[in-house]
Amino acid sequence: MVKAHVPDLASMGRPVRLSSLIISIRNRILVTLGPKCPYRVGDAVVGDDPYNGRHEGIVMTRRGSSVELGTAAGVFFYDHRHLRRQD
């Protein structure tokens, strides 16, 4: 079968600037050394925050220090420091 579109091979080995390479390495190191969320997806937790209120639910996703908490009332986003495990 003949393909109608052939990718341009000249763009596959584009040069990378040294400054952008250093910045990407620095960002990876900062993310690695940043705060870790101790909760896994599927853990039952209680979120208590002065703005969102108190909600019990299950951790749906984690991204950095932010946790998406699925509850009966909807979906809420919490910082992992405002969560604790259910008793």
Question: Residue 40 phi/psi, 5° resolution?
Answer: -100, 165
In this structure, how many other beta carbons lie within 10 angstroms of the beta carbon of residue 60? 15
Predicted local confidence at residue 60, as pLDDT:
94
Percent of the chain with pLDDT over 70: 87
The pLDDT tens digits of the residues spanning 70-80 come to 999 999 999 88
pTM of the entire predicted model = 0.59
- Average pLDDT, whole number, for the chain? 85
The pLDDT tens digits of the residues spanning 16-51 come to 789 988 999 999 998 888 778 888 999 999 998 888
| Angle, vertex CA 27, rays to CA 23 and CA 28, nearest 5 | 120
Structural domains of the chain in order of their starting residue, each with its CATH number: 37-87 (2.30.30.520)
- Please say whether the beta carbons of 59 and 67 come within 8 A: yes
